[in-house]
Chain A
Amino acid sequence: MARDEKIQGNKVAAGLTRRQLIELNACTRCGECREWCPVFAQDQREELTARAKLGALSSFVDGTLSEPERQKLIDALYECSACGQCHVVCPVRINTHELWEQARLSLVNAGIPQPAGQIKQLAAIKEFNNPFGKSRNERATWAEAAWKAGLLKAPLNFWKEQPSPIIYFAGCMASYDPELQPVAVQSARLLQEAGVDFAILGEDEPCCVSKLRRMGDSAFPGEARKRVDQFTGMGIDTIIVSCAGCYKGLHSDYARLWPGAPKILHLSQYLDLLLTQGRLSLKLKIPLLTTYHDPCHLGRHNQVYDQPRRVLRSIPGVELVEMPRHGAFSSCCGMGGGLKAANPEIQHKMAAARVREAEATGADAIVTPCQTCYLGLLNGVKEAGSGVKIFHLNELLVRSICPEVTHESVKIALAGITA
């Protein structure tokens, strides 16, 4: 055994927990993970499966993995959306997605960096506080533009000007990406329709930095701590998050750092609450046969399955038909875990497979409450050449409640104003 390999193996082992090291040896190699893995379904290489990664990682930490196999393992660790499907089906219940994220971090600490695509995104997050490398000043332009365009009932409150115990946290994607800005506008409008007194953080809204955790960046705990410190003492009671990735970040990744955290709810959970309280009135009928795509970060990782479905079912005219894989077995669209940044082709194929699965149900549209999955599924529609429509959950709600803020109309209005 080469001395260097042993030293590096020790470094990687030191970055994993004892339980995770035992898990590497507990795998029975039964292959159930292979049957369900959405990445393997598109690129049938054994090294992509959880069992192969567990075996290779075990040899790596023992310093007995050959150089070609080592490279295969490193590639496979990043050709993974960390969707957690393998955890759900594993007969030994190995907590795989936690392990993949920790292994990435451990590899980085041992001197093995992430793929170039991820490094670029991580650098942007750390430098600009968003993955696009855009200025902080542009973060809330959507809110101002939406008010000017008459898409909101009232101008949005900025927390530093008018503090409120309820915060709407739009996230980087909906704040900066023109394709997703309608999600932020619609979310704010829906909250206004329900009479919720809330504020946004505007330029002060930080990136949740959960991508740092997903991609194994060692700066995550420190950056997350800064966010927790920022929120602490603001008197916040509830944070409403419209991005499933941010929801996982604030709700789950920060959990250990944030004792006494406020209520962190995904927008779909909050809308479900508002509908239950009768604070949102759905007026117009939307005749549409839909199928629901569970975002991994919301479903498998946080067990939010029912509330978004209840919201969807509450819309007059909307029918819901489930895909064969749904709930805890929902197939990932490939947008998570930094996979899109590292390997966009695989993401497109995974999303296309999901779109085809939806098509087979006879549904006219796929609805998802996650803005990232929404983008991912749009890639899938293109890749599959499908006619299935992709809707964010907000879109169907606003069509029933306030049809002047549909996705297209918001996009056009914002484009006109920001131009």
Chain B
Amino acid sequence: MIPVELVDYPKPWLLFQATACLSLGYMAFAFLRKWYGWARGMREPTAAPGDHRRPLMIWLAEVLFQRQLLTLSFSRWCIHLMIFYGFIGLALLPAAFFILKTAGYFALSSTFPRFSLHPEGYFIFKLWGDSFGLLLLLGLIMAGIRRLTLRTVRETSNQGDVILLGLLLSVTLSGFVLEGLRLSPMPAEIAHYSYVGRFFSPPGTYTLEQLRPWLTACWTLHALLVFILFAYLPHSKLLHSLLAPFIIGMNAAGEHTREDIYWPEMKKYRATRSRQG
């Protein structure tokens, strides 16, 4: 295997840390305000302990498989799953780095952390990142097309929906552009692991020196967009990504015996979908 030299370029860490503190601090503050808002409500009596298996099954089906969406619309289900798993996959990437680094730091089974974090294991992260990034990108593009082409969806879109979609798309695209710039000076044998990112490489041949300012600018833009997304999360409909699994779980605990809504016959369900005039 060709040895991989990781592309190095200057990163404005001070700006990064300051923005991270601001963005995450604001997000925490906004969530705290939300929490106080929710805490104004009445406490509900806790449900009697019962069978947890069925509510858990419902939760898994409704959250991880998103069965309800599948029964409503196959295309919506595909789009939502792409965005959902794209996000989860990309979020796991830094988490995996962190875990492996920590494991390596403590010399816990250091073979795999070493392999993964050094050039030998480069392809694992590249394949992972590009695959989930592609899922997210396709999902967002399809969501955008759906929003533009379907009259009922278009009519009911609001400014917040457009801002969120635009922001998510910008984050994803800037990530791929950054990846394309990083791949530009790399040999093709290495670059092909980033099977999506390579298409974002600028045309022509450039030295690392020529690319460095662009890499720095793109990295900064990508990081800033991510932090804007974090700050916007508590005010956007993306909040449902955190609250919906909670609500689904809470309601499944109380209603898990309802076969009519949790275990409907899928074909019959679809057939009944008709608007009344």
Q: Is A88 an interface residue (CB 8 A)?
A: yes
Q: Is A325 an interface residue (CB 8 A)?
A: yes
| A31-B156, A91-B68, A95-B251 as given contacts; A25 in contact with B260, CB under 8 Å | no
Specify which chain A residues have a CB less than 8 angstroms from the CB of B246 in the assembled complex.
Answer: 22, 26
Q: Are B260 and A300 in contact (CB under 8 A)?
A: yes
Q: Are B272 and A91 in contact (CB under 8 A)?
A: no
Q: Is A35 an interface residue (CB 8 A)?
A: yes
| A34-B156, A93-B62, A329-B272 as given contacts; A25 in contact with B40, CB under 8 Å | no
Contact with A along B251-277 (1 / 0, CB 8 A): 110010011110010001101111111
Shortest B148–chain A CB gap in Å is 15
Q: Are A31 and B152 in contact (CB under 8 A)?
A: yes
Q: Are A18 and B276 in contact (CB under 8 A)?
A: no
Q: Is B43 an interface residue (CB 8 A)?
A: yes
* Distance A280 CA – B43 CA, assembled complex (angstroms): 48
Q: Is A257 an interface residue (CB 8 A)?
A: no
1-20 of chain A: CB within 8 A of chain B: 10, 13-20
User: Which of B42, B45, B260 has most chain A Cβ within 10 Å?
Assistant: B42
| A22-B246, A46-B156 as given contacts; A305 in contact with B260, CB under 8 Å | yes
Contact residue among B255, B264, B274 (Cβ-Cβ distance under 8 Å from A328): B264
Specify which chain A residues have a CB less than 8 angstroms from the CB of B158 in the assembled complex.
Answer: 29
Q: Is B41 an interface residue (CB 8 A)?
A: yes
Specify which chain B residues have a CB less than 8 angstroms from the CB of A26 in the assembled complex.
Answer: 239-240, 243-244, 246-247
Question: Considering only CB atoms, which chain B residue lies closest to A13 in the complex?
Answer: B40
Contact residue among B247, B261, B276 (Cβ-Cβ distance under 8 Å from A22): B247
Q: Are B269 and A329 in contact (CB under 8 A)?
A: yes
Q: Is B250 an interface residue (CB 8 A)?
A: yes
How many chain A residues sit at the interface, stated as a range, is 35 or more
User: Which of A15, A46, A93, A300 has most chain B Cβ within 10 Å?
Assistant: A93
Q: Are B273 and A326 in contact (CB under 8 A)?
A: no
Q: Is A92 an interface residue (CB 8 A)?
A: yes
Specify which chain B residues have a CB less than 8 angstroms from the CB of A62 in the assembled complex.
Answer: 37
Q: Are B41 and A20 in contact (CB under 8 A)?
A: yes
| A21-B38, A26-B240, A325-B274 as given contacts; A93 in contact with B43, CB under 8 Å | no
Task: Please report the total number of B residues contacting A with Cβ < 8 Å.
Answer: 47
Shortest B62–chain A CB gap in Å is 7
Contact with B along A291-314 (1 / 0, CB 8 A): 000000001100101000000000
Q: Are A88 and B260 in contact (CB under 8 A)?
A: yes
202-255 of chain B: CB within 8 A of chain A: 237, 239-240, 243-244, 246-248, 250-252, 255
* Distance A19 CA – B273 CA, assembled complex (angstroms): 29
Q: Are B37 and A93 in contact (CB under 8 A)?
A: no
Q: Is A265 an interface residue (CB 8 A)?
A: no
Q: Is B170 an interface residue (CB 8 A)?
A: no
Shortest A319–chain B CB gap in Å is 19
* Distance A357 CA – B272 CA, assembled complex (angstroms): 12
Q: Are A19 and B44 in contact (CB under 8 A)?
A: yes
Q: Are B38 and A18 in contact (CB under 8 A)?
A: yes
Contact residue among B69, B156, B252, B269 (Cβ-Cβ distance under 8 Å from A91): B69
Q: Are B277 and A22 in contact (CB under 8 A)?
A: no
| 7 A-B pairs in the complex with CB atoms less than 8 angstroms apart | A25-B38, A34-B152, A35-B152, A91-B62, A95-B251, A329-B272, A331-B276
- If A17-B44, A93-B62, A93-B247 are given as contacts, then 12 extra A-B residue pairs at C-beta distance below 8 Å, sorted by A number, are A15-B42, A16-B42, A22-B243, A22-B247, A26-B239, A27-B237, A29-B158, A32-B72, A42-B276, A303-B258, A328-B260, A353-B277
